[in-house]
Structure 1
Amino acid sequence: MTGREFLEPDSVQQRLYLDGFKRLEVIQKIFNELPKADQNLCNHGSYFLAANASLCGLAANNFFRNVLHVRRAFIASALPMAVIPFLSTVAVYEGFVREPLFSGQLDCEVCAVVRGGLTGAVVGGLYPAFLALPLNASLAARYFSSPLPGKENLVRFWLSVSKPVFRKMSWAVLIQALTGLYLATKHHGIYVKILQQMDASRDTEELQA
């Protein structure tokens, strides 16, 4: 190992010259020196995506209630449809995008952006709609708000019920996907800023040495 790769300005080794806990400490130190706008975006950006997921959950819940003519237990159905998608979206985005990115495990911009878009579309958009279906199906069966079919027509019935709801939710899924893409792009940009400052600090230390 000649060390030539450390002299190349764009080498991966130059960006990863600090390993493990020391690297994380340096990243955190530089992060604390960033503008407050960047810090807030990193710390609270996933909450915006999660808030949209809650709205998707409430919308899907309302659509299924109307289709199945459910008029009772509004709060009992709305509360989990707001809370569960919010918590799930935050947890998945943090564990799937943000934490790997700022720990140095996810350097690829395309990978980070794709992960953000998938998280927004699947967890923040589709998941609330899928969650609303069994919830409202159980309410419809409990309160006899809509005649339910026998086992032989069960799949066809729920497909016919779900189709218009998922058609209406398609725009919400698209918006969530774009929001996830945007958020992951901004987070990766902030991560690049941190890497650039790490490189600048390293160059300064080498000049002083």
Structure 2
Amino acid sequence: MTGRELLGPDSPQHRLYLERLKRMEVIQKLFNELPKADQNLCNHGSYFLAANSSLCGLAANNFFRNILHVRRAFFVSTLPMAVIPFLSTAAVYEVFVHEPLFSGDLNCEVCAVVRGGLVGAVVGGLYPVLLALPMNASLAARYSSSPLPGKENLSRFWLTVAQPVFRKMGLGVLIQVLTGLYLATKHHGIYAKILQQMSASKDPEELEA
């Protein structure tokens, strides 16, 4: 069997693609019929997680600035720490939770909830702290706000600097985990409503009429 036959209009892959596309269209149609509250939660719920990520970035940035005695370039460090975590968290949640869920590729509730919690913890909580460290380290070196060690003690120095910040940010990371779990749970619950409506219909294709 040639590659052209495998990708032809009668091939199993093509039929599978058409079935998946039809399922996505039905899901989208039923989603548009949901109450506005459910639609808003699905469309904009990840922004709450992203906004918390921005707050984590700003808090971590402030902690590092105080520890390293950085007093200059306030807006240079503040703006990226507010924008980058927000965009990263919203995009990662969309790619790994929301899009697979409402395209029919993620039917497992436990998997969706775990993904939401991981996105909240790693991207929404830890990533802003890790992003703030090198940014403020470069500012401290540029403006000589704190005496920096030589290469032989560099790792120990930054570990000592980062430890209190990670301890202070522990509550923020926990909040992000809970927020990610909550969002993923609610989103899967809304997706389950759509599946129930699909099951209640004797002929799902009638929904496209």
> How far apart are 1:19 and its partner, in Å?
2.3
CA distance change for structure 1 residues 132 and 201 in 2, over 3 Å: closer, same or farther? same
Cα deviations by residue, 1:162-202 (Å, 9 ceiling, x for unpaired): 00000000110000000000000000000000000111123
- Counterpart for residue 13 of structure 2: none
Question: What SS class does the counterpart of residue 199 from structure 1 fall into?
Answer: helix
Q: Which residue of 2 aligns with 1:100?
A: 100
Using the TM superposition, give the Cα deviation of residue 22 of structure 1 relative to its aligned residue in structure 2, in angstroms.
Answer: 1.0
What amino acid maps onto 2:131 in structure 1? L
Separation in structure 1 between the aligned mates of residue 96 and residue 204 of structure 2, nearest angstrom: 34
Q: Is the 8 A contact 2:198 2:204 kept in 1?
A: no
Q: Could you tell me which amino acid in structure 1 is paired with residue 24 of structure 2?
A: L
Question: Structure 2 regions of 5+ residues with no counterpart?
Answer: 1-17
2:112 is the counterpart of 1:112 = yes
Which residue of structure 2 aligns with residue 127 of structure 1?
A: 127
- 1:191 is aligned to 191
Identity rate, percent: 83
> Are 1:26 and 2:26 an aligned pair?
yes
Do structure 1's residue 157 and structure 2's residue 152 form an aligned pair?
no
SS in 2 for 1:19: helix
Query: Deviation string for 1:20-43 (max 9, x for gaps)?
Result: 111111111100000000000000
Against the structure 1 CA distance between its residues 204 and 52, is the aligned structure 2 distance closer, same or farther, given a 3 Å change threshold?
closer
Alignment of 1:4-83 (within 5 A): 19-83=19-83
Q: Secondary structure at the match of 2:169?
A: helix
Q: Deviations over 1:95-138 (max 9, x none)?
A: 00000011111100000000000000000000000000000000
| 1:202 aligned counterpart, secondary structure | coil
Gaps of 5+ in 1: 1-17
**Rounded Cα–Cα distance in structure 1 between residues aligned with 2:110 and 2:42:** 18
Question: Residue 204 and residue 44 in structure 1: after superposition, are their counterparts in 2 closer, same or farther (change >3 A)?
Answer: closer
3-state SS, counterpart of residue 63 of structure 1: helix
| Partners of 2:203 and 2:77 in 1: CA distance | 57
- Residue 202 of structure 2 aligns with which residue? 202
**1:148 aligns to 2:122 (yes or no):** no
Q: List structure 1 runs of 4+ shifted beyond 3 angstroms.
A: 203-206
Q: 1:152 to 1:75 in 2, by over 3 A?
A: same
Q: How many residues align?
A: 189
Q: Report how far residue 55 of structure 1 moved.
A: 0.3
TM-score (ref. length: structure 2): 0.88
Q: Describe the superposition over 1:134-153 as per-residue Cα deviations: whole angstroms up to 9, x where unpaired.
A: 00000000000000000111
Cα distance in structure 1, aligned partners of 2:26 and 2:46: 23
Amino acid at match of 1:26: V
CA deviation profile, 1:3-56 (whole Å, cap 9, x unmatched): xxxxxxxxxxxxxxx921111111111000000000000000011100000000
Cα RMSD of the aligned pairs, angstroms, is 1.4
Question: Which residue does the alignment assign to 1:137?
Answer: 137
Whole-angstrom CA distance in 2 between matches of 1:40 and 1:48? 12
Q: Distance in 2 between matches of 1:103 and 1:24?
A: 5
